[in-house]
Structure 1
């Protein structure tokens, strides 16, 4: 009986199962992006006009594109780029967004109004339009690309952390800590961050998915990174005219985008409140 109870306790709960699946898929994609360049070592920009749009072979396990470039190497490089830019964008948005949200809730008054007005100014301009504007001013710049995505994402962290921080700071527990003489750092560490952390992690997963989609969309409309950089949206655009000749080749970057978004959505949606 004890053994059965231990197995039941160790088994993943129904709500956490999607998170395990999401983390597994994301880990496999990350391993693919890291290990393929180390083990395969093919040049992502090397062209072979004798193997244009070829089916999977021993030399090219996933086939080649319209310029004879190895799809296995290019997909690994594209996953590296998408996940790397998404991670940097989310980190660049989460840190200032959460800190400003806590500051607005803590200070209140004029500080809260000014920071709220700043967030509303960014909300007045559609996110994708803002990203397109910045990327068009600095074409081909990775810094501009992830900076533009971060400018769009930080607002959600700010609004959610400000609203939740107001509730926590007005709670009896925080009032008692202040009466006992505990400083701001203790209140943030003991009361604020434990309440904010689950929300921040959930928004980060959704934000990473949004960043991947935004980067792919910019590449698809030829506004993001420039050729010959391997990027999922740009690869779809380049292979689209050859859909009739090699539908399986263009399906590869679409499948990778689907798996990345699916993994991040499962991670975000399966998190316990």
Structure 2
């Protein structure tokens, strides 16, 4: 009997949680994609004759304090949050992973220089850095996206560097080097299979962090500007009307909760 046979395995309900998260994330993505078909009105179109209207055939999710259709606005806000999260994660993952592999591969001054750069960025709290950039360039999508990516790449760099150093010192990699295989082959054959599950987990957590950061910026009114449909901004706009229309306020809150929950469940995936 091997040692792995004696270790406790995940229970079936625990193994199903990542699949539940993936299904939930897929459902939210489909809703965001098909919302323009379900609600044909412009998310910014105001109707002062239907302010804070209850759900109806014309407005399945009701309307906000300016008579704007909540179905259209919620779909637009989800597309923005998911798109920004995906863009930020991809933009952070590529340089972070490549620099982490470079630092582990070369070592020496290259490793120390890149590690020092990462520590300098890490010295400033991530959300504070995003707030500072957003305050300098208020309402800019590019500024928010760039600052979030600047924060996220550090995790990819540090995890890749630590993991790659151990993998590159393994006998399998040493054998590949002695046989004359190129670095690209070593990265693809030895590094990537070991790094991919960890990086995908970091990516799921990073996407959740990006969504929370954008919502937090919108909630404190330093993020995107009206009439942009953004989940945090929608919460701020609807908060004064929670007594008259709580069903409207709960929608962006529930959307953020489900997005972050789905991504955290997906991050718990462990390939067998």
Smaller-chain TM-score range? over 0.9
Match of 2:259 in 1: 260
Contact 1:239 1:250 in 2 (8 A): yes
Match of 2:4 in 1: none
Residue 271 of structure 1 deviates from its aligned partner by 2.8
Aligned length, in residue pairs: 262
Contact 2:19 2:266 in 1 (8 A): yes
Match of 2:227 in 1: 228
Residue 42 of structure 1 deviates from its aligned partner by 1.4
What CA distance in whole angstroms lies between the structure 1 residues aligned with 2:248 and 2:86?
Answer: 27
For 1:236-269, what per-residue CA distance to the aligned partner results, in whole angstroms no more than 9, with x for missing partners?
0000011111111100000111110110010001
What CA distance in whole angstroms lies between the structure 1 residues aligned with 2:162 and 2:127?
Answer: 25
Residue 58 of structure 1 deviates from its aligned partner by 1.1
Write out aligned runs for 1:110-149 (5 A): 110-149=109-148
For 1:185-221, what per-residue CA distance to the aligned partner results, in whole angstroms no more than 9, with x for missing partners?
1100000111110010000000000000000000000
Aligned-partner SS, 2:180? coil
For 1:169-189, what per-residue CA distance to the aligned partner results, in whole angstroms no more than 9, with x for missing partners?
000000000001101011000
For 1:15-70, what per-residue CA distance to the aligned partner results, in whole angstroms no more than 9, with x for missing partners?
43111111111111010001111342111011111111111011111100000000
What CA distance in whole angstroms lies between the structure 2 residues aligned with 1:83 and 1:97?
Answer: 21
- The alignment status of 1:157 with 2:156, answered yes or no, reads yes
Match of 1:64 in 2: 63
TM-score by length of 2: 0.94
Report the more deviating stretch, 263-272 or 68-77.
263-272
Match of 1:47 in 2: 46
What CA distance in whole angstroms lies between the structure 1 residues aligned with 2:94 and 2:15?
Answer: 26
Report the more deviating stretch, 204-213 or 138-147.
138-147
Q: For the aligned residues, what is the CA RMSD?
A: 1.2
Q: Which runs of 5+ in 2 are unaligned?
A: 1-10
TM-score by length of 1: 0.94
For 1:145-167, what per-residue CA distance to the aligned partner results, in whole angstroms no more than 9, with x for missing partners?
11110011110000000000000
Contact 2:54 2:61 in 1 (8 A): yes
Contact 2:201 2:269 in 1 (8 A): no
- The alignment status of 1:74 with 2:93, answered yes or no, reads no
Q: Which runs of 5+ in 1 are unaligned?
A: 1-11
What CA distance in whole angstroms lies between the structure 2 residues aligned with 1:260 and 1:254?
Answer: 10
- The alignment status of 1:37 with 2:52, answered yes or no, reads no
Report the more deviating stretch, 238-247 or 15-24.
15-24
User: Runs in 1 of length 4+ with deviation above 2 angstroms?
Assistant: 12-16, 270-273
Residue 127 of structure 1 deviates from its aligned partner by 0.4
What CA distance in whole angstroms lies between the structure 1 residues aligned with 2:270 and 2:18?
Answer: 7
